[in-house]
Amino acid sequence: MLSIDRISEGYLILITGLLIVFSALLILVLFFKYGLPLLLYSYKIITKKRVIKIGKQPKKSNEEFTGEIAAAISTAVHLYLNENHDNENAVLTIRQARKLYSPWSSKIYGTHNRL
């Protein structure tokens, strides 16, 4: 009688246990499949700064900014960066490699000067 009770309880635990494990991981699956993208999307919307789209930009602001100005600015930047290249930091720090004694590199055991 006792053992039958035990085994029926065993079956109960078997079924409920498997169900719980499956449901726990299923919830995780559902969250990461649907919940997380939603979460990230809403986060993106919340933190997004107001950006004016290209099409909706007021045309007036563009009037003074001609291609020539753009070319002038980019040339200036280009020249400046080029110059930067020449003025590199001249201070070199060489990390000294610590060499511990090793018989492999020892001159005592060299082939030519045998002991």
Binding residue (CB under 8 A) for another protein from 33, 48, 50, 60: 33
Number of H helices, E strands in the chain: 3, 0
CB 17 to another protein: min, Å:
5
CB 59 to another protein: min, Å:
37
Site for another protein contains 70 (CB under 8 A)? no
Site for another protein contains 65 (CB under 8 A)? no
Site for another protein contains 39 (CB under 8 A)? yes
CB 16 to another protein: min, Å:
8
Contact residues: another protein, CB under 8 A: 3, 6-7, 9-11, 13-14, 16-18, 20-29, 31-33, 36, 39-40, 43
